[in-house]
Amino acid sequence: MQKPLIRLEDVHFTYQANTEGAMPALKGINLDIQAGEYVVILGHNGSGKSTLARHLNALLLPTQGKVLVDGMDTNDPAHTIAVRSRIGMVFQEPDNQIVGTIVEEDVAFGPENLGVPREELIQRVRAALETVDMWSHRRRAPNLLSGGQKQRVAIAGVLAMQPACLVLDEATAMLDPNSRSDVLSTLRDLHDRGTTIVAITHFMEEALEADRVVVMSGGQIALEGAPELVFSQVDRLRELHLALPAPAQLAAYVRERCEALSTNLLTAPALVEAIDALAGGERMVR
């Protein structure tokens, strides 16, 4: 069996451990992420999903258990640089990641600090900006960009370091719908090119992009599986204070009135097609 790119083995994490204010955030997480996967992690506020994300590139270290990246234990400080080179992080606020006065300088910052030679550095910056469709903005000041453009520059800055995996912690939370769509399109393209994607989000529709969905609750994994499997468990999701994606909510409403409607209709096109098929067969909704 193929060795996972990332493996979490019985991972526990407590904020302010060994103090009166100790706050357990992760409670025995076991999770494998394979190279080339697209994994979306969902959960309500306080579920532990962002804490989990920060364990994937050694920003946080387990209180108990192990996180292995390509077999490297993140608890070993000798592996920290290698781990962070393999696992790139993009956060909710792109302004907190952008450090350059112009776009191309910002994208060059990470690989330059890794000692990448000048000629290779130039090639990496161009490739990263072209990947996120921001090459034409390379001479612009980041503060003049839209929120979505800034987030794509932040992604480019990580891509220039050539990570095997991109972890996005609520990276679309502050964006308008058009900017969010642009970023998701970029992620789809990256995944198609072989980059492993781990996206932490509270937008249910974003989970439809995934190969696998992981639902967190109370610092533990409550549900896991393909989107069709996870979103078929409507009652369990309600218990976890999570809603279905909007098209799936509408499909569930229609299904209450027409049991013949197919299950696992997660997207608007799929729902329209299923209703058209029923109408064509003269099986009308009550």
Other Cβ atoms within 10 Å of 104 Cβ, number: 21
Place of tokens 């979103």: 231
Domain boundaries, the chain: 6-227, 245-286
The answer to whether residues 181 and 209 touch, using CB atoms and an 8 Å cutoff, is no
The answer to whether the Cα torsion of 91, 96, 100, 102 is positive or negative is positive
- pLDDT higher than threshold 90 for residue 195: yes
**Beta bridge pairs of residue 24:** 14
CB 97 within 8 A of CB 90: yes
| Least trusted range by pLDDT, from 26-40, 50-64, 128-142, 222-236 | 222-236
Contacts with 243 (C-beta within 8 Å, 6 or more apart), sequence order = 204, 237, 249
Q: What's the confidence (pLDDT) of residue 286? A: 45
Q: What is the pLDDT of residues 121-130, one digit of tens each?
A: 999 999 999 9
**Average pLDDT of the segment spanning 21-27:** 93
SS3 track for 58-111: CCCCCCEEEEEECCEECCCHHHHHHHHHHEEEECCCHHHCCCCCCHHHHHHHHH
In total, the chain counts a number of residues equal to: 286
Coil, strand or helix at 207: helix
6-227 — its CATH code? 3.40.50.300
How does residue 94 score in pLDDT terms, banded at 50, 70 and 90?
confident
- Predicted confidence band at 21 (pLDDT cuts at 50, 70, 90)? confident
Strand 72-73 and strand 6-15: the pairing is unpaired
pLDDT band of 285, cuts 50, 70, 90: very low
Q: Rounded to an integer, what is the distance from CA 160 to the centroid of its chain?
A: 18
